[in-house]
Amino acid sequence: MNTIRSRRTLAAVFALAAACAAEGLALRAQQAQPSQPQQQPLPPGYVRLGPVTARGLAPNMKGEELPMTASRTFQVTFGTGDEILSGLTEFVEKNHIISGYITGLGGLRTGMLGWGDPDRGGMKTIPVNEKSEIASLVGNVSLQDGKPRVHLHGVLSLSDGSTRGGHVIEAKVYPIAEIFIVTSDQASQTTSR
Q: What are the sequence ranges of the domains in the chain?
A: 1-30, 73-183
Could you tell me the pLDDT band of residue 24, with boundaries at 50, 70 and 90?
A: low
What is the rounded end-to-end Cα distance, in angstroms, of the chain? 90
Q: What is the pLDDT of residues 81-92, one digit of tens each?
A: 999 999 999 999
Closest to 122 in 3D by CA, of 130, 134, 114? 114
Q: Can you give the pLDDT at residue 16?
A: 47
Q: What is the pLDDT of residues 3-19, one digit of tens each?
A: 555 555 444 444 544 54
| C-beta separation of 177 from 105 below 8 A | yes
Question: Residue 170 belongs to what H/E stretch?
Answer: strand 163-183
Tell which wins on pLDDT, 148 or 118: 148
Sign of CA dihedral 31, 36, 41, 42: negative
Fold entry, domain 73-183: 60s Ribosomal Protein L30; Chain: A; (3.30.1330)
CB atoms within 10 A of CB 89: 16
Tell which wins on pLDDT, 139 or 20: 139
Could you tell me the pLDDT band of residue 193, with boundaries at 50, 70 and 90?
A: very low
| C-beta separation of 134 from 106 below 8 A | yes
Q: Is the confidence at residue 127, as pLDDT, over 50?
A: yes
Q: Is the confidence at residue 36, as pLDDT, over 70?
A: no
User: β-strand 100-117 against 163-183: which pairing, if any?
Assistant: antiparallel
- Between CA 91 and CA 159 the distance in angstroms is 31
Q: Can you give the pLDDT at residue 51?
A: 72
Closest to 85 in 3D by CA, of 14, 1, 154? 154
Q: Can you give the pLDDT at residue 119?
A: 82
- Between CA 43 and CA 56 the distance in angstroms is 32
Could you tell me the pLDDT band of residue 69, with boundaries at 50, 70 and 90?
A: confident
| C-beta separation of 84 from 175 below 8 A | no
Q: Is the confidence at residue 95, as pLDDT, over 50?
A: yes
Closest to 168 in 3D by CA, of 102, 93, 79? 102
- Between CA 185 and CA 190 the distance in angstroms is 16
Could you tell me the pLDDT band of residue 28, with boundaries at 50, 70 and 90?
A: low
- Between CA 1 and CA 141 the distance in angstroms is 84
